[in-house]
Protein backbone atom coordinates (compact mmCIF):
# COMPACT_ATOMS: atom_id res chain seq x y z
CA UNK A 1 0.00 0.00 0.00
CA UNK A 2 1.30 3.43 -0.98
CA UNK A 3 -0.30 6.82 -0.28
CA UNK A 4 1.36 10.05 -1.47
CA UNK A 5 0.39 13.72 -1.43
CA UNK A 6 2.87 15.78 -3.48
CA UNK A 7 3.14 19.31 -4.86
CA UNK A 8 4.85 18.05 -8.06
CA UNK A 9 4.79 14.56 -9.66
CA UNK A 10 3.79 11.93 -7.10
CA UNK A 11 5.69 9.12 -8.91
CA UNK A 12 8.31 10.12 -11.50
CA UNK A 13 10.87 8.14 -13.52
CA UNK A 14 13.33 9.24 -16.18
CA UNK A 15 12.96 5.72 -17.60
CA UNK A 16 10.02 3.30 -17.35
CA UNK A 17 7.51 2.35 -14.63
CA UNK A 18 5.79 -1.02 -14.17
CA UNK A 19 3.10 -1.46 -11.50
CA UNK A 20 1.53 -4.76 -10.39
CA UNK A 21 -0.49 -5.98 -7.39
CA UNK A 22 -0.46 -2.59 -5.66
CA UNK A 23 -2.84 -0.39 -3.70
CA UNK A 24 -1.87 3.20 -4.60
CA UNK A 25 -3.59 6.47 -3.63
CA UNK A 26 -2.15 9.73 -4.96
CA UNK A 27 -2.94 13.45 -4.76
CA UNK A 28 -0.67 15.86 -6.61
CA UNK A 29 -0.39 19.32 -8.10
CA UNK A 30 1.07 17.94 -11.35
CA UNK A 31 1.33 14.37 -12.70
CA UNK A 32 0.10 11.44 -10.63
CA UNK A 33 2.45 9.04 -12.44
CA UNK A 34 5.02 10.28 -14.97
CA UNK A 35 7.59 8.27 -16.94
CA UNK A 36 9.73 9.65 -19.77
CA UNK A 37 9.55 6.24 -21.48
CA UNK A 38 6.77 3.71 -20.80
CA UNK A 39 4.22 3.04 -18.08
CA UNK A 40 2.81 -0.49 -17.76
CA UNK A 41 -0.04 -1.02 -15.30
CA UNK A 42 -0.62 -4.74 -14.74
CA UNK A 43 -2.96 -5.05 -11.76
CA UNK A 44 -4.08 -3.59 -8.44
CA UNK A 45 -6.01 -0.49 -7.47
CA UNK A 46 -4.91 3.02 -8.41
CA UNK A 47 -6.80 6.02 -7.05
CA UNK A 48 -5.63 9.48 -8.11
CA UNK A 49 -7.69 11.96 -6.11
CA UNK A 50 -6.18 15.16 -7.56
CA UNK A 51 -3.77 15.86 -10.44
CA UNK A 52 -3.10 18.02 -13.46
CA UNK A 53 -2.42 14.94 -15.61
CA UNK A 54 -3.16 11.64 -13.92
CA UNK A 55 -0.87 9.35 -15.96
CA UNK A 56 1.71 10.70 -18.43
CA UNK A 57 4.37 8.77 -20.33
CA UNK A 58 6.00 8.07 -23.66
CA UNK A 59 3.62 5.09 -23.92
CA UNK A 60 0.93 3.79 -21.56
CA UNK A 61 -0.30 0.19 -21.37
CA UNK A 62 -3.08 -0.95 -19.00
CA UNK A 63 -3.42 -4.74 -18.82
CA UNK A 64 -5.73 -4.97 -15.81
CA UNK A 65 -6.61 -3.59 -12.42
CA UNK A 66 -8.90 -0.77 -11.37
CA UNK A 67 -7.98 2.84 -12.10
CA UNK A 68 -9.97 5.79 -10.75
CA UNK A 69 -8.48 9.02 -12.07
CA UNK A 70 -9.24 12.69 -11.37
CA UNK A 71 -7.37 15.24 -13.49
CA UNK A 72 -7.84 18.91 -14.33
CA UNK A 73 -6.31 18.26 -17.79
CA UNK A 74 -5.72 14.72 -19.16
CA UNK A 75 -6.47 11.41 -17.49
CA UNK A 76 -3.98 9.69 -19.82
CA UNK A 77 -1.39 11.70 -21.76
CA UNK A 78 1.02 10.01 -24.16
CA UNK A 79 3.64 12.66 -24.70
CA UNK A 80 7.08 13.06 -26.17
CA UNK A 81 8.40 11.89 -22.81
CA UNK A 82 9.47 15.13 -21.12
CA UNK A 83 6.38 17.26 -21.60
First to last CA, the chain: 28
pTM of the model: 0.93
Of 1, 65, 58, 2, the C-alpha closest to 76 is 58
| pLDDT in the model for residue 70 | 98
* pLDDT tens across the length of the chain (83 residues): 999 999 999 999 999 999 999 999 999 999 999 999 999 999 999 999 999 999 999 999 999 999 999 999 999 999 864 54
Of 23, 25, 27, 24, the C-alpha closest to 6 is 27
| pLDDT in the model for residue 65 | 96
Amino acid sequence: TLALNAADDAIHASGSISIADSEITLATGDDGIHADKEIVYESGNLLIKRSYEAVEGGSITVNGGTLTLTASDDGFNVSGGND
